[in-house]
Structure 1
Amino acid sequence: MAADTASDTSIDTPTEPVHIDGKAHLDDVVDEYDVVLTDFYADWCGPCKMLEPTVKTLAAETGATVAKVDVDANQQLAAAYGVQGVPTLILFADGQQAESIVGVQGEDQLRSLIQQYTE
Structure 2
Amino acid sequence: MSDIDDERQRIRERKKRELQERLENGDELDTSETDDRSRAPGEPISISGEGHLEEVVVEHDVVLVDCYADWCGPCQMLEPTIEALAAETDAAVAKVDVDAHQRLAQQLGAQGVPTLVLYADGEPVERMVGVQNRGTLEGLIERYS
| TM-score normalised by structure 1 residue count | 0.92
Asked if 1:20 is matched to 2:20, the reply is no
Q: Which has the higher contact order (CA 8 A, sep 6+)?
A: 1
Asked if 1:5 is matched to 2:31, the reply is yes
The total of aligned residue pairs comes to: 115
Please state which structure has a larger fraction of its residues in strand.
1
One-letter amino acid of the counterpart of residue 61, structure 1? E
Asked if 1:66 is matched to 2:96, the reply is no
* Residues 34-61 of structure 1: CA deviation (Å, up to 9, x unaligned): 0000000000000000000001000000
Q: Counterpart of 2:127?
A: 100
Asked if 1:82 is matched to 2:140, the reply is no
Distance 1:105 1:4, change over 3 A: farther
Q: Counterpart of 1:41?
A: 68
| TM-score normalised by structure 2 residue count | 0.76
Deviation at 1:31, TM superposition (A): 0.4
One-letter amino acid of the counterpart of residue 46, structure 1? G
**What percentage of residue pairs aligned between the two structures are identical?**
58
Please state which structure has a larger fraction of its residues in helix.
2
Distance 1:11 1:72, change over 3 A: same
Distance 1:76 1:4, change over 3 A: farther
Runs of 4+ in 1 over 6 A off after TM superposition: none
* Residues 16-45 of structure 1: CA deviation (Å, up to 9, x unaligned): 000001100000000000000000000000
Q: Counterpart of 1:31?
A: 58
RMSD: 1.5
